[in-house]
């Protein structure tokens, strides 16, 4: 079984993916971790790396390839484009209002809310441009998702229960 979890920056993708992977004893694959690792390898921030990737489609393709290589067998795959490239049994999209995502990112990264919002908007703008240009994917088109959750309304345990119910029903 392959479950994909996509979502906007700061929506709770990693948290939900880890919980679902643990609960169902599935491998956890994260496109975000792959991208962060590649940025670290180049010695630049994630936002800078996104901007470099705007000019170099090979970066996104490498992230996709690394993700595909890691996606074997039963797993939870976390990434904004995962549902587009894999054939998931269940696909989930998470979102939350910008102010909630800003608070989460500021707390997680130890930065000001203003800086967190700037980074979120910059990263999402960059990614939307790249996804449209490189893949002809409109990331705002939710038609491919089985479940869409507003994580501003649900805590982690509620999200896990909702997605777990869908997984159990699918099995």
Q: Which helix (H) or strand (E) holds 7?
A: strand 2-7
**Sign of the dihedral through C-alpha 100, 103, 109, 113:** positive
How far is CA 121 from its chain centroid?
A: 15
pLDDT in tens, 106-161: 999 999 999 999 999 998 998 898 889 888 999 999 999 999 999 999 999 999 99
CATH architecture, domain defined by 2-170:
3-Layer(aba) Sandwich (3.40)
Cα torsion 102, 103, 108, 113: sign = positive
What is the pLDDT at residue 47? Answer: 77
- Hey, where are the domains in the chain? 2-170
Each residue of 7-64: pLDDT tens digit?
A: 999 999 999 999 999 999 999 998 878 888 888 998 998 778 877 888 888 887 888 7
């Amino acid at each position: 079984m392959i479950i994909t979890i996509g979502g906007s920056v700061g929506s709770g993708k990693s948290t939900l993916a880890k919980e679902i992977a643990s609960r169902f004893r599935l491998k956890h694959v994260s496109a975000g971790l792959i991208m962060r690792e590649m940025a670290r390898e180049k010695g630049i921030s994630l936002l800078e790396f996104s901007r470099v990737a705007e000019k170099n489609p090979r970066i996104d393709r490498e992230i996709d390839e690394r993700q595909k290589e890691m996606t074997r067998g039963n797993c939870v795959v976390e990434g904004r484009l995962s549902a587009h490239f894999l054939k998931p049994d269940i696909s989930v999209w998470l979102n939350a209002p910008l102010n909630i995502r800003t608070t989460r990112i500021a707390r997680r990264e130890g930065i000001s809310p203003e800086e967190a919002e700037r980074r979120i908007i910059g990263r999402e703008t960059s990614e939307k441009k790249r996804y449209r240009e490189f893949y002809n994917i409109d990331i705002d088109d939710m038609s491919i998702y089985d479940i869409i959750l507003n994580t501003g309304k649900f805590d982690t345990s509620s999200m896990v229960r909702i997605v777990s119910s869908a997984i159990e029903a699918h099995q």
